Amino acid sequence: MKPLRVHKGIAAPLHKINIDTDQIIPKQFLKRVERDGYENFLFFDWRFRPDGSEEPSFVLNQPPYRKASILIGGRNFGCGSSREHAPWALNDYGFRVVIAPSFADIFFTNCAKNGLLTVILSEEQTAELARRAQAKPGMELTVDLEKQTVTDDQGFEARFEIDAFKRHCLLNGLDDIDLTLQHEADIAAFEKKRVAF
């Protein structure tokens, strides 16, 4: 997993409430178990028309936002089923951070385990960021996980809270496998001892 310390990137406003995992990655794309190759399926039903052409009104199809790496969502982002494919698709598209007033619990956990930072800001702060991103397409935000702040170059600054263990894992790029491998010597010693019985 790639460490995340300070991330600066274009912010895309998708400030809707209850964006569920079926909207993030529709069910027909869940047949694969690999963690990559999902970028074209992210928000598929919103990004594409039935004939396969792009829906020009959707934010990620608009030139300034195509390269967005920070997504500004609404309350209860990631609700619905517990599919881990949702953070995989967001990661694969290029998002490193999702900012919202609240997240569904399982989605929130899945994001951290896959290197995607979820930042909780107030309704007012999130709405203001979405307004700024819409008013100035291509606006960049800086999300500093070390300082736990979100800033722009126009004077916006907000502090966010994050669980200390989740913060440690994201700062150091540690997923569950990496955490286990930190104890590789102990595991090897235990296995050697166990075989001796």
pLDDT tens digits for 44-60?
A: 999 999 999 999 999 99
Classify residue 145: in a domain, yes or no.
yes
How distant is the alpha carbon of residue 77 from its chain centre?
A: 10
Mean pLDDT of 29-38: 87
In this structure, what CATH number is given to the domain that contains residue 87?
Answer: 3.20.19.10
Domain that holds residue 32: 6-195
Overall domain count for the chain: 1
Q: Does 17 fall in a domain?
A: yes
3-state secondary structure of 31: coil
Find out whether 56 and 62 touch, Cβ atoms under 8 Å: yes
Confidence (pLDDT) at 47 = 97
Q: Is the pLDDT of residue 193 over 90?
A: no
- d(C-alpha 15, C-alpha 37), whole Å: 26
Q: Quick one: CA dihedral 9, 95, 81, 133, positive or negative?
A: positive
Please say if the pLDDT value at position 197 is more than 60. no
The number of beta carbons lying within 10 Å of the beta carbon of residue 179 is 13
Phi, psi (5° rounding) for residue 34? -65, 155
pLDDT band at 195 (very low <50, low <70, confident <90, very high): low
In-domain check, residue 1: no
